[in-house]
């Protein structure tokens, strides 16, 4: 397929939507980005990649980091992981705290905040005070790129305004589903959410999930084929909070969004994709980013369905 032309068409169709939606403003550090940026990157197995827009623009990966921490946790814990976290859609955004209470502190899945906080706690059991170092090293490894850093201002802002996350971790500690000190857990969690990457880097980082857990370029095997499929299935059912069904419906690919405006998506056995645009729709997912992926799968027929 002529991906270069397709990207151009997508870009041209998505332009009218670039001023739709609102940049995340729950923390000041995120609200200051240029709201009209857009970029999209495709990473193929043969090493070819296609890019359009502001592809050097780094952004806060936010919840996309949950894919990395879940991958590491599944690698370290295997099936034992599901004692601490479920793998069902949460149904509704408001359920996060409600369900935590009903379900005795076991989060619905690793892609809601509570679940990702549990993943961080589990990594801390093994990696101790090297936890964040191990997480960022893992991202460098899957990205085949040593220049991945995090934004200290975003971490600071998260700490100042992160009362909802403090409520979540306290609640789970109360139910004994958090083992480590809650403030250290949050510190690591906020750090990995604050990692900055551009669409080039993120699409490259996700390639192993398009190829059954093995990076086709570096030939490193990060997880088993079965684990890789499960991560993809979870991205499909739970990757966009209470708009997961809608994303599956319209885009038809496993994906994970972040409030920083990024979305990654996987075309199994074909490619990995990343799109960025910081204005969010009402459900907290990139407005133009979602549209771009929808146009892309419509044009290419690359839905998994």
Binding site for a copy of itself (CB under 8 A): 86-92, 94-95, 97-99, 101-102, 108-109, 163-164, 166-168, 170-171, 173-174, 182, 226, 228-230, 232-234, 236-238, 242-246, 248-249, 252, 254, 268, 298, 303-305
Q: Is 282 a catalytic residue?
A: no
> Among 10, 11, 66, 155, which one carries the catalytic annotation?
66
Instruction: Provide the CB-side half-sphere exposure for 294 (13 A, CA).
Output: 14
CB-wise, 200 or 291, nearer to a copy of itself? 291
Q: Is 259 a catalytic residue?
A: yes
> Among 63, 96, 194, 272, which one carries the catalytic annotation?
63
Least CB distance to a copy of itself at residue 254 (A): 7
Q: Is 66 a catalytic residue?
A: yes
Q: Is 189 a catalytic residue?
A: yes
Q: Are 192 and 69 in contact (CB under 8 A)?
A: yes
CB-wise, 145 or 224, nearer to a copy of itself? 224
CB-wise, 98 or 133, nearer to a copy of itself? 98
CB-wise, 35 or 91, nearer to a copy of itself? 91
Q: Is 11 a catalytic residue?
A: no
Residues with catalytic function: 63, 66, 189, 241, 259
């Amino acid at each position: 397929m002529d991906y270069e032309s397709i990207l151009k068409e997508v870009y041209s169709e998505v332009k009218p939507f670039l001023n739709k939606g609102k940049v995340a403003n729950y923390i000041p550090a995120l609200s200051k980005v240029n709201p009209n940026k857009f970029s999209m990157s495709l990473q193929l197995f043969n090493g070819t990649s296609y890019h359009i827009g502001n592809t050097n623009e780094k952004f806060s990966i936010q919840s996309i980091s949950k894919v990395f921490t879940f991958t590491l946790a599944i690698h370290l814990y295997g099936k034992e992981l599901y004692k601490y976290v479920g793998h069902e859609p949460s149904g509704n955004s408001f359920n996060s705290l409600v369900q935590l209470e009903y379900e005795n502190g076991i989060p619905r899945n690793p892609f809601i905040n509570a679940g990702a906080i549990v993943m961080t706690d589990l990594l801390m059991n093994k990696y101790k005070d090297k936890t964040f170092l191990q997480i960022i090293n893992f991202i460098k490894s899957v990205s085949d790129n040593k220049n991945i850093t995090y934004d200290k201002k975003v971490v600071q802002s998260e700490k100042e305004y992160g009362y909802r996350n403090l409520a979540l971790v306290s609640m789970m500690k109360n139910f004994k589903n958090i083992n480590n000190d809650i403030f250290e857990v949050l510190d690591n969690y906020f750090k990995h959410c604050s990692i900055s990457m551009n669409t080039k880097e993120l699409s490259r980082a996700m390639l192993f999930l398009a190829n059954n857990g093995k990076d086709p370029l570096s030939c490193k095997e990060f997880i088993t084929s079965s684990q890789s499929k499960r991560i993809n299935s979870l991205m499909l059912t739970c990757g966009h909070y209470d708009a997961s069904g809608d994303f599956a419906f319209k885009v038809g690919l496993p994906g994970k969004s972040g409030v920083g405006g990024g979305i990654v998506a996987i075309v199994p056995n074909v490619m990995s994709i990343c799109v960025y645009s910081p204005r969010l729709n009402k459900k907290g997912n990139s407005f133009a980013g979602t549209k771009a992926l929808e146009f892309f799968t419509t044009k290419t027929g690359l839905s998994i369905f």
